[in-house]
Amino acid sequence: MSLRESLNISLSSGIEMLNKSFQFVTALMGLHRTAFSSLRYVKAAAEYWRVCRAWHRTREVKVLLPGVRRAEG
């Protein structure tokens, strides 16, 4: 086997490995989009309800203004 043939074989095997790794990453990204896309909506809904609960808790809070005698207590 000549040097040129061995280089061609190693180059082609390197390209095959690159293609396999690219296919793996592409498949992994596809899995991420499909498997975890609903998780994004769950997180958004949880954030909405967290903000809603916080608003309801704090809407009755009186803000004390400096310089107002009643506020200084």
Q: What pLDDT was estimated at residue 42?
A: 80
Q: What is the pTM of this model?
A: 0.33
Q: Do residues 71 and 64 touch, judged by C-beta distance below 8 A?
A: yes
Which tens digit of pLDDT belongs to each residue from 9-63?
Answer: 555 666 676 666 666 666 666 666 555 567 777 888 888 888 888 888 887 777 6
Q: Distance between CA 18 and CA 12 in Å, rounded?
A: 10
Q: How confident is the model at residue 1 (pLDDT cuts 50, 70, 90)?
A: low
Q: What pLDDT was estimated at residue 58?
A: 80
Give, as one character, the DSSP assignment of residue 73.
-
Q: Distance between CA 42 and CA 38 in Å, rounded?
A: 6
Angle at 56 between CA 55 and CA 62, to 5 degrees: 80
Q: Retrieve residue 42's tokens.
A: 């769950």
